[in-house]
Amino acid sequence: MKFLIDAQLPPSLKNLFISKGFDCLHTLDLDLKNETPDSVINFISINEERVVITKDTDFLKSFLLKKQPYKLILVKLGNTSKNEVINFFQNKFNEIIKRVESESLIFLRQSTSDKV
């Protein structure tokens, strides 16, 4: 399974995925870095079967209308620090991966019950 992390999320999130044995890119790894257009991210996602992880709801619209990107994780954790985002992913990592294996669209939300 391969992932592509969008610009609004910390580059250090990539390290978590790599440490767990996954192929992962951040937009900073791309030629246009964080200025990479959504259309290019979608193209890479489809061609390389990469799951896009983003906060950008434009990807949700694209996914619903065009089935692009390949798979989508939409992060809706509110106003959280980089460390809180990393901690959320660390705590829920196995559950997130399990869901990606069977679902194409995943919403990650912080709730009172702290469910994915």
From the list 76, 57, 4, 58, the residue with the least C-alpha distance to 34 is 4
Instruction: Give the domain range for residue 83.
Output: 2-109
Confidence band, pLDDT 50/70/90 cuts, at residue 113? very low
CA distance 13 to 5: 8
The verdict on residue 81 lying in a domain is: yes
pLDDT of residue 111: 67
The verdict on residue 115 lying in a domain is: no
H or E element at residue 5: strand 2-5
CA distance 52 to 56: 10
In this model, does residue 85 exceed pLDDT 80? yes
Confidence band, pLDDT 50/70/90 cuts, at residue 31? very high
How many domains in the chain? 1
From the list 73, 86, 54, the residue with the least C-alpha distance to 116 is 73
Which pTM was predicted?
0.94
From the list 55, 97, 72, the residue with the least C-alpha distance to 116 is 97
